[in-house]
Amino acid sequence: MNKLIKANFSRLFKSMFFKVCLIFSAGLGILMDMARYIDIQKNQELYAKFGVEYKSADGFAFSLVLYIIFAISAFTAVFVGTDYSDCTIRNKLMVGNKRTEIYFANFITCAVANVIILMTSIIVTLGFGYALFRVTSLTAKETAICIIIQCVTMIGFSAILVLISMLIQSKASGAVTALIMTIVMFLAAMTISNKLEAPEYYEDLTEITSETGEVQYVPVETKNPSYITGTKREIYELLNDILPCNQFYQIACCNTENAGKLAIYSALIMILSNGAGVVLFRKKDLK
């Protein structure tokens, strides 16, 4: 399998799509830094009232992955699909490589490539941001935890993308399917997060007129009818911890309380996706 991985990485570093993804991730980070810097300069009085997290790159450095995942989805599908379009997979089988080795070689290559794209975004955003703002709101430990969990989550996410890409022989169909799956997961993440973050009570002001005719406004708590409780909330919380896009969103908000749990779920996703992928790929009829 070492030869397969070596050949894959040789193709990876020659891939124009991979280079475009790196440029996109770095450029997006620089663009966000510049946009925040210009906004701070224009609204200095407003930002003076905010905390340091709004005056540094820490507040959005880990949220850029929610944009990068779409480029990563397309890249993974195209990279794996090229093996089919160029008939490389059949050639690999003809020279004695096992299907399991081919599958894991592709997974390892794509996982490493996707982590590199992610790390490029984080490093450039934090580095360029610090050069502009000269402040940081996260400790070294918090930053390290966020980076590690996002990388672990990216590996689990890559396993899902490779599973899809290895089972669809058409490069175009694989890319479209991966993008649709990513969009669905992204929308699910936003929906689940909004449901869980909704307050249980809303505070309203009720007008009360006293006997003297004086009007007073008294705060009254009103139950939120959309607030979920019981088993339904437990299911939502479980999905929030399991789904990769939800994990990305939690770390984007710099929420490191469930770091260990998120890492375990990502590892579980990686194992199950690769296990299912290997079984299905072994049975697949390669045309």
Asked whether the CA dihedral 280, 152, 254, 233 is positive or negative, the reply is positive
Asked whether the CA dihedral 72, 79, 98, 5 is positive or negative, the reply is negative
Placement of tokens 């991966």 in the chain: 178
As a whole number, mean pLDDT of residues 77-97 equals 85
- Report how far residue 68's alpha carbon sits from residue 273's, in angstroms, rounded to the nearest whole number: 21
The token pair at 3 is 């030869």
pLDDT at 274: 95
Calculate ∠ Cα 145-151-153, nearest 5°.
100
Q: Per mean pLDDT, which range of 96-100, 119-123, 265-269 is the poorest? A: 96-100
Comparing C-alpha atoms, which of 60, 70, 27 is closest to residue 252?
60
Q: Put residue 127 in one of left, alpha, beta given phi > 0 → left and psi -120 to 50 → alpha.
A: alpha
Find the radius of gyration of the CA atoms of the chain: 23
- Report how far residue 84's alpha carbon sits from residue 65's, in angstroms, rounded to the nearest whole number: 28
Comparing C-alpha atoms, which of 168, 4, 2 is closest to residue 93?
4
Percent over 90 (pLDDT), the chain = 51
Q: Per mean pLDDT, which range of 7-11, 219-223, 239-243 is the poorest? A: 219-223
As a whole number, mean pLDDT of residues 253-265 equals 84
Placement of tokens 């990513």 in the chain: 182
Tell me which of 259 and 147 has the higher pLDDT: 147
Q: What is the mean pLDDT of the chain?
A: 87
- Report how far residue 198's alpha carbon sits from residue 226's, in angstroms, rounded to the nearest whole number: 8
Query: Is the pLDDT score of 151 beyond 90?
Result: yes
| Helix, strand or coil, per DSSP, at residue 205 | strand
As a whole number, mean pLDDT of residues 227-252 equals 90
Q: Regarding beta strands 215-223 and 201-209, do their DSSP bridges make them parallel or antiparallel, or are they unpaired?
A: antiparallel
Q: How confident is the model at residue 275 (pLDDT cuts 50, 70, 90)?
A: very high
Tell me the HSE value of 63 on the side-chain side, using a 13 A CA sphere.
10
Comparing C-alpha atoms, which of 60, 69, 79, 84 is closest to residue 13?
79
pLDDT at 207: 59
| C-alpha dist (Å) from residue 152 to 58, 162, 212, 242, 275 | 19, 15, 66, 12, 18
pLDDT at 210: 58
| C-alpha dist (Å) from residue 171 to 81, 107, 158, 280 | 4, 16, 17, 18
pLDDT at 213: 57
As a whole number, mean pLDDT of residues 44-50 equals 73
Straight-line distance from the first to the last Cα atom of the chain, in angstroms, rounded to the nearest whole number? 23
As a whole number, mean pLDDT of residues 71-88 equals 89
- Report how far residue 132's alpha carbon sits from residue 56's, in angstroms, rounded to the nearest whole number: 8
pLDDT at 93: 79
